[in-house]
Structure 1
Amino acid sequence: MALVAAAVTYLLVPLVRVFALRIGAAPEIRERDVHTVRTPRLGGLAMYAGMLAGLFVASRLEHIGAKLADPRVGDGQTVIALALAGGVIVLTGFLDDWWGMDALIKLGGQIAAAGLLVAFNVTLLWIPLPNGGTVSLDSTLRTIITILVVVVSINAVNFVDGLDGLAAGIVCIAALATFAWTIALTENLEQGRLSVTAAITAILIGMCLGFLPHNFHPAKIFMGDTGAMLIGLLLATSVVTVTGTVNYDIAHREINRFPVVLPILLPLAVMVLPLADLIMAVVRRTSYGKSPFAPDRGHLHHRLLQIGHSHRRTVLIMYAWTFLFAATVVGLSVGGVPLIVFPLVVLFALVVLMMMGLPLWRSGRGGRGSGGSHSARRGPAPGSGPTTEDPSVPGAAASPHAPATTG
């Protein structure tokens, strides 16, 4: 499934690039921009085709096809639910990448896509508690919480989509961690009930790997909101489907609580960085009297550039942080450790992230006092996408793709 999704995505990206250039889905170089090459968006169209191809193959496989038709998840129509919800989110992103769209309209598109999942009964059924119990959700709470999870995931991914290859790589690592945990839990429970989640994450991994060769710095194409919102949707769906297929009673008896609550913790673990970035962006913008939807260049990846890291090194640092955190959380869960270890891992990971920039701060290469590093003065490398000045951050500019919540 992953190979098919990767192959279709990879092969279609050049065609999508030509299409994007012909319809003008590539911003003109403006006086305030720092990139020198017009880079088309809409790479998410190829990723959507890869998703459809992966789902088609999955539905034809004997074992996984039967699981995708399990009436407990998506009323047995999980493939159709993903195809339709993905179609709505891709259409929303396509129109935004091509013409531009108001943030509230994009939010409406995200809610509509999440609503389609709910309509097909792809919802959170219960929420695990640290004390070993669960909170069962009625139909109203299922709808509200599922839509909230999907919308937050979509926007968290969109926020981190600020440098070449960053979003695709981080989501790929997140999907790998979820896939590994799914396989480990299935083996522990001796039941093949998590194949829906495994299938979704495998397809998501393939989509990201197929797109990365075209998107890694210097990028030939951006995924745009079309792709960022799509992979955010799939990442959220992989979490939602777990609670519809795992037998919690068996899981609670056979393994410790940490793996049981991991469906909730793992997405938070791999998305702590973009989620924290989202919260800090809102606080930062409102503190300067600006709209929380206003784009700026104060995101974490931009800060790493400003203190002296190159474009590729910044992306690799973000990859390393995500991989370290996700792999540690999954490894600890499989090993069966107390739940208290999780917040300690969070603290350790944040310290490691801060230490990555410490040598440059000591040398005086970053910060306002030194006037910024060479990377900060010259801005993002060519191919990073259009930018917008922001008086709240010296030398600031917007990320290549305005996140769904930032306009």
Structure 2
Amino acid sequence: MTTLILITLATAFASMLLLVPLVRAGAIRVGLVDNPDAERKLHARPIALAGGLAVFIATGIAFVTGVAYESGWQEFEKLTQISSRWYVLLGASTAILVVGLIDDKWALRGRQKLLAQVVISMIVVGSGTVMNSVSLFGWDIPLGIFAIPVSVLWLLLSINALNLLDGADGMATTVGAFVCGGLALLSASSAHSPSTAIAATALCGALIGFLVFNRPPASIFLGDAGSMMIGLMVGVLAMWCSLKESAVLVAAPVAILVLPLFDSTAAIVRRWMTGRSMYATDRGHLHHLLSEKFGPNGMLMVVAGLCTFSSAIAILSVKFQQEWLVPIGAIGVLGFLVLTRTFGHSECRLLLGRVYHFAHSFAVRPQQCDSSKQLRTVKLQGEGCWEPVWEPLVEFAKAHDFAKVQIDANMAWLHEGYHATWQSVRLPEKAFQNVVRIPLYATRPGDDEAVPIGKVEVITNSTTDSLVYLGYFLEHVEELQAQVHHLVDKLNVLRSRKATSDQAGQSTDAVDKPLANEVEAATTS
């Protein structure tokens, strides 16, 4: 088995070294490139996409080579005897690769991509790749009528988990390589067909080879085509390599996939709790925060260390049949990220704050529901001092007996995010609410026109007096916008100086603190 894995790994790696320059040149020729913008895509020049196509081809070459070696070099006809599920996976991977290439070239809507993902996942599940029951810590839990929905949901999570991580040079590639390596070892340690181990090894070797070109500064990206295709294959292989009779062992695959799953969960929590669209873009993902804290290369080292730890724990848990090791490993990884405030701390604050206020609402007497207020403020990212913007809003709401005031700001180009809510324990019935939503605007460096960065929402009872007070509020919206502009201008200066110091090779630690103090002093004046 060791020789088989090494041959498959080497074939995939060598294939990538030959394929990537060809695919990169072809992508540039047809205009399949990722152009920088002033908000989220901050690379300096257009970068070729379609790296996923090279990964797909190299994985196929390595898989065929591995299966041929395992069955005997003189018995290539055995390749035609592979289980039909592999042909389904080939077709599904091809389909999602095509969808991704179309999206990379012409930019599909989020719901269009999701629909395609659902259809492809349902085809895979309909072909027999389904979780009829799951085994967790020795307990077999039959899923019954939920088997198909749970299986489809698992594939959707896998597809989008890797896709969401693909926002920094080498990030999705590094995570994918470690995840596939872990799945290969997990599959090799089982008594099932080695085909799953071969496929996982082939994908791992292809990603390692792609990392040669995708490490910072990257010369080619996976694109949505690559990240979604890898996510689908990882999700399917995770189900196949963890089969135990008729049940799927969920602990080990989840532990191996803990980083991408945590990032996806945090993104859902962050957008749901702040009232943003699930398709909204921000720079609050794991790779953004790690890159901001440790730099591009440091980010990859931290990710590699965390993936190594979680994968090793998962493999050991299976080898020694000690499933209790899995939650310890997962908690260790997540605890490190949250407690060091590297990632997930803001999302935990949002979630715990919502849970606390929900629990507290049960202790409030009915007569106090309208007068009792709840306050939540969370600085999601950045160094901006939002109190001069937020506190006058709360004072105005208190003075005029508003039911709710909320502010949400998201500036991806500044790595800045802020969310705050002040509201009554019991809001008025929707039919009797006056709701006003004011978009907030700011100017990005190099742009002549202001762009939307968030919103302020106000809710009052539907009374004559409240309409008058809402009129007063609208009269002061220009002052609110001016405060936001003032704050963002200072943050733009801070970001510009940090970028200049980075380019000059200076330590940003020496300049961050005084510049942050300058921003706070300016915005509170």
> What's the TM-score bracket when you normalise by the shorter of the two chains?
0.7 to 0.9
- Output the amino acid matched with 1:48: F
1:47 CA drift (Å) = 0.9
Structure 2 counterpart of 1:24? 31
Mapping of residues 69-148 of structure 1, within 5 Å: 76-133=83-140, 135=142, 141-148=146-153
1:312 CA drift (Å) = 1.1
Match of 1:323 among 302, 308, 332: 308
Q: CA RMSD in A?
A: 3.4
1:93 CA drift (Å) = 0.4
Match of 1:345 among 329, 352, 373: 329
1:367 CA drift (Å) = 5.2
Mapping of residues 209-220 of structure 1, within 5 Å: 209-220=208-219
Correspondence 1:161 to 2:147: no
1:220 CA drift (Å) = 0.4
Mapping of residues 174-323 of structure 1, within 5 Å: 174-186=179-191, 193-242=192-241, 246-247=244-245, 263-306=249-292, 308-323=293-308
Correspondence 1:53 to 2:39: no
CA contact (8 A) 1:161 1:228 kept: yes
Bigger Rg, which one: 2
1:85 CA drift (Å) = 0.9
C-alpha distance in 2, partners of 1:390/1:368? 20
C-alpha distance in 1, partners of 2:78/2:240? 11
Structure 2 counterpart of 1:255? none
1:227 CA drift (Å) = 0.6
Q: Against the structure 1 CA distance between its residues 67 and 198, is the aligned structure 2 distance closer, same or farther, given a 3 Å change threshold?
A: farther
1:141 CA drift (Å) = 4.6
C-alpha distance in 2, partners of 1:89/1:212? 22
1:284 CA drift (Å) = 2.1
1:377 CA drift (Å) = 9.0
Q: Against the structure 1 CA distance between its residues 390 and 169, is the aligned structure 2 distance closer, same or farther, given a 3 Å change threshold?
A: farther
1:69 CA drift (Å) = 7.2
C-alpha distance in 2, partners of 1:62/1:27? 40
Structure 2 counterpart of 1:402? none
C-alpha distance in 2, partners of 1:153/1:318? 18
CA contact (8 A) 2:252 2:326 kept: no
Percent identity between the two aligned chains: 26
Q: Comparing both structures, which one devotes a greater share of its residues to strand?
A: 2
Structure 2 counterpart of 1:43? 51
1:122 CA drift (Å) = 3.2
CA contact (8 A) 1:269 1:325 kept: yes
1:68 CA drift (Å) = 7.8
C-alpha distance in 2, partners of 1:59/1:312? 35
- Output the amino acid matched with 1:302: H
1:390 CA drift (Å) = 8.1
C-alpha distance in 2, partners of 1:67/1:126? 32
1:240 CA drift (Å) = 2.2
CA contact (8 A) 1:304 1:357 kept: no
Scaled by the length of structure 1, what TM-score is found?
Answer: 0.75
1:66 CA drift (Å) = 9.8
SS of aligned partner of 2:128: coil
C-alpha distance in 1, partners of 2:35/2:167? 18
Greater RCO, CA 8 A, separation 6+: 1
Q: Deviations over 1:246-277 (max 9, x none)?
A: 446xxxxxxxxxxx96x412221132222222
SS of aligned partner of 2:294: coil
1:161 CA drift (Å) = 1.2
- Which is worse superposed, 149-158 or 264-273? 264-273
SS of aligned partner of 1:3: helix
